[in-house]
Amino acid sequence: MYISEKAPAKINLTLDALYKRTDGYHELEMVMTTVDLADRIDMFELPGPAISLESSSGLVPQDERNLAYRAAALLKEKTGIKRGVHIRIHKQIPVAAGLAGGSSDAAATLRGLNRLWKLHLSDAELAGIGAEIGSDVPFCVYANTAIARGRGELLTPLPPPPPCWVVLAKPAHGVSTADVFQRLRIDQIEEHPRTKAMVEAIKNRDYPSVNRHLGNVLESVTMKMDPEVRKIKEKMIQFGADGVLMSGSGPTVFALVKKEARARRLVNGLRGFCQQVYAVRMLGTRSEGVLDKIRTK
């Protein structure tokens, strides 16, 4: 028997860094949501206790370094369960892109194995386990819309953002999140995002206000490492985006537009500058995004 879980990409509508903590992490305040660009994780029951993993992308590790593998191993350790699993990852989300692809794979693995192994753990319990794997994993367990504080693991749910199209463009090179945070100088941040105003905009389903309050303090840091980020932003505005922002630590940049025709125009315009371009719908909630069918081979 095997089950499948969809692992949607995350985008940041805001990302603010408040201070550097004594444990080396940054205290953050972020508004995060999901878009309809997703990996698919298939989990096959195995007769023995081993974990094995394969991925359709050669860009991610196919062994115990993969976050989905680590999720399965940690779940076994925490619950004492002796069962094995083969994990197959169908990768769609660009890697090292600021879209939490690896974290979402880990979260989908936790959700899937919770069902496959009938563990009856709550989302909160899965998120607690996920926090040991990476800062974005708890958000990805819920895969809805939320304010994330602390390292990113303290979540307050929000309603989904107003419906729109999201055009994502990933520059050729990836960046390491640790590298970007290391270069961030909190005392040199010129403008902090107005998180409260973004939350109000979402609650009021006020699309223009969501666009007005997009902000990410890591954007200028990553822009210095990769000039393509600025170029893509400029092109997106030129091609008619309503709002433009880099997601997470980048380097993926996204544009919000209301109409599908405008999204197509942006994709066509960007193709000359950037190889990885996607037009997808804003999701913001897990209910329609999860494949919850149990299949029998």
The catalytic site residues sit at: 10, 136
CB nearer ligand C5P, residue 28 or residue 266: 28
Answer yes or no: are the C-beta atoms of 133 and 114 closer than 8 Å.
no
CB nearer ligand C5P, residue 25 or residue 227: 25
250 binds ligand C5P per the rule CB under 6 A: no
Q: Which of 200, 176, 189, 146 is nearest to 12 (CA)?
A: 146
12 binds ligand C5P per the rule CB under 6 A: no
Residue that has been written with the tokens 């880099």 in this structure: 246
178 binds ligand C5P per the rule CB under 6 A: yes
Residue 96 in marked binding region: yes
25 binds ligand C5P per the rule CB under 6 A: yes
Residue with nearest beta carbon to ligand C5P: 135
283 binds ligand C5P per the rule CB under 6 A: no
Identify the residue among 98, 101, 112, 134 touching ligand C5P (CB under 6 A): 134
Neighbours of 99 (CB within 10 A): 28
221 binds ligand C5P per the rule CB under 6 A: no
Give 76-80's long-range contacts (Cβ < 8 A, gap of 24+): 76/49, 76/51, 78/129, 79/117, 79/119, 79/121
293 binds ligand C5P per the rule CB under 6 A: no
CB nearer ligand C5P, residue 110 or residue 167: 110
The encoded tokens of residue 8 equal 């949607």
- Within 13 A of 18's CA, how many CA atoms are on the CB side? 12
135 binds ligand C5P per the rule CB under 6 A: yes
Bridge-based pairing state of the strands 165-170 and 154-158? unpaired
- The contact pattern for ligand C5P, residues 137-176, with x = CB under 6 A and - = no contact, is --------------xx------------------------
Q: List the beta bridge partners of residue 12.
A: 32
The encoded tokens of residue 257 equal 């537009």
CB nearer ligand C5P, residue 137 or residue 198: 137
193 binds ligand C5P per the rule CB under 6 A: no
3-class DSSP string for 168-207: EEECCCCCCHHHHHHHCCHHHCCCCCCHHHHHHHHHCCCH
Bind-site residues for ATP: 94-104
The residues of the shown chain that bind ligand C5P, judged by CB under 6 A, are: 25-26, 28, 134-136, 151-152, 177-178, 181
